[in-house]
A and B are shown apart, each in its own frame.
Chain A
Amino acid sequence: MRAVEVSPGTVLGPLRKTITQQKITRYAGASGDHNPLHLDQDFAAATQFGGTIAHGMLLLAYLSEMLTAAFGSRWLETGRLKVRFRGPARPGDTIIVKGLVKAINDPTTVTASVECRNQVGDILINGEAEVTNSRGLP
Chain B
Amino acid sequence: MNVLELRDVVKRFGPLTAVNGVSLSVQKGSIISLLGPSGCGKTTLLRIIAGFEHPDEGLVFLGSKNVNGKRPYERNVGLLFQDYALFPHMTVGKNVAYGLHQRGFREPQVKKRTDEMLDLVGMREFANRRPQTLSGGQRQRVALGRALASNPELILLDEPLSALDAKLRLELRTELKRILVTAGSTAVIVTHDQEEAMTFGERVIVMEKGQIRQEGSPTQIYDDPKTRFVAEFIGRSNWFCGTLGQKIGEFREFLCSQMKTTLIREPDQVNHKMYDVCIRPERILTRGSKSKDLNDGDEPLNTINGTIKDVIYLGSDFELIIALDGAAEMTAIEKNRRQSIPNRGEAVTIAFRPSDMIVIGRD
Q: Do A and B come together as binding partners?
A: no
